[in-house]
Structure 1
Amino acid sequence: MTQWFVKDLSKLTGVSVQTLHHYDRIGLLTPSLRRANGYRVYSEKDLLKLQQIIALKFFGFELSQIKTLLKEESNALKHFNSQVQVLEQKAAFLLEGARTLRSIVDSVDANQSIPWETIIQLIEVYKMTEHMEHNWVKEIFTPDELKQYAEFEKELKANTTLEQKEAFENSWHLLVEAVKNNLEQDPGSALGIELGKKIMDWVNGVYGTKYAHLRTKKFEKGFGEGKGLDEVGLTPEIVSWMDKAMDAYWRDRIYGILGQVGKKPSSTISALWHEMLIDMYGEDTSRKNAIYEIALNDDKVSSQAKAWLKNMLDI
């Protein structure tokens, strides 16, 4: 059976020695044999795995995603479908830039001056998105959403002091650590609901209602698909637990509000309901409307509460 030292494998595949060392450190590609002197020895099986990694990187998958894919090949098609959407969105973003530039070219005659003000505005938008803190969001947001996200980051930096930023980051790391220490617990338990509330309070404190739709998509299409996890101390297991805990928190809050129908004034319940919807999805009307449908089809919601919900929809 053929074997290779790290330098030989590097020459064979075109992957640098430093990259192979990095793959080993993060557990993505561990050599089958490590000699007493520390030399890495790669087998034919390792070579095949490296070729798979190279192929997945070609299609834009991040290392954390590739690691998950190679462990769970049964779910590969699902990840491939998601990546197709990512690549299509990238293509759409590039096409929008090409169309915009084409419209400028077509609107200017040879004897006219170039509309530099318009071009400068386009460049500013590009620069705003180019230097985003989490660069991978370009893969999940539409061009319009990218502009909004760039505005969000700009506002956040302008309105947040260094001390506040450090406090936000510290509180986030404490939340992540709390989840990590309770992964064996049921996310639907009282503890899970409590942590779910703390996570949502933290996230809403950062994004507010104006950018809640970006917050939701970033979690679902970003962290939920394995993107940018290392940057914020997450793992697929932590994300999954958080998702279930937040869902349990929202369900508990929904049941708590609807359980008061017939016991408290409708105006009081209505205020609580609208406050909850804003906390959940901000100004995203379509997602808020979907909550009505979910509640109306939930067997745990009483017929009296469902009648109240239908009345709210008619208002």
Structure 2
Amino acid sequence: MYTVGQLSKLTGVSVRTLHYYEKMGLLQPDRNTGNQYRSYSENDILRLQKIAVLKHMHFKLSEIKIVLDKGEVAHNNVAVWSRALTQQMAFVKQQQEKLQAVEHLLYSTLYAMRASEQVNIDEMLGFIRELEQPPQGKELRQQYFSPEELELLPINDVSNPLAMEWADILRRVKGLLAEPPDSPAAQQLASSIIEYADKMFGGDEQLIQKYWDYITPQEDQSARVYGMTTDVMQYMDAIIRIYMGGEDPRP
């Protein structure tokens, strides 16, 4: 058992905060019938540990109380502590996945602005919609690609500077759509695309082709990857075929 002062010193949680947790019903230390001094048990420490984790994840105290009220009593039980920590790790992972999804949306929005050099209100509306109704794209990719291939895809790592570099190439493509595919500017662009694809996919031509097929929109479908519309992809096909002398390595 620990006094409030001892617990505060050992955990770094102030005495005032511990008192407030008690007032909120988050902690329920024993009280000495004579002097009303508080005594904190191992179960209180387990609850305090959960509070610390959930607070760090920006949960409200009222929400934390609901979580805690579903918990178990520790009584120095290794199984209970292990179960509690395992549940917390699963919960943290779930929150990480949600934050990664938000990070990907933020990155995608920056990518779209860089590729188009403008703020598109439709993109912002889509951003909000995807936060409220997450798309099924991840599940579709998992069906199409192996776990090893997914690790290599440009859409997998939003921190990869090469991913944002494609926005610059895409902007160049859109600016040249009216140019003949065999023009010097178009052929210089084809060279950049091939060089980029080689860097992004590590020279894996099979994966390049598979990814190209995956992002190619089906008839009457919108682009699967921002900006990769049918006309853009057809133009890229044309300039690359000419650059390669009739061959067709697609990025």
TM-score (norm 1): 0.31
Please state which structure has a larger fraction of its residues in helix.
1
* TM norm structure 2: 0.37
Instruction: Pick the structure with greater CA Rg.
Output: 2
Of the two structures, which has the highest relative contact order with CA contacts closer than 8 Å and spacing of 6 or more? 1
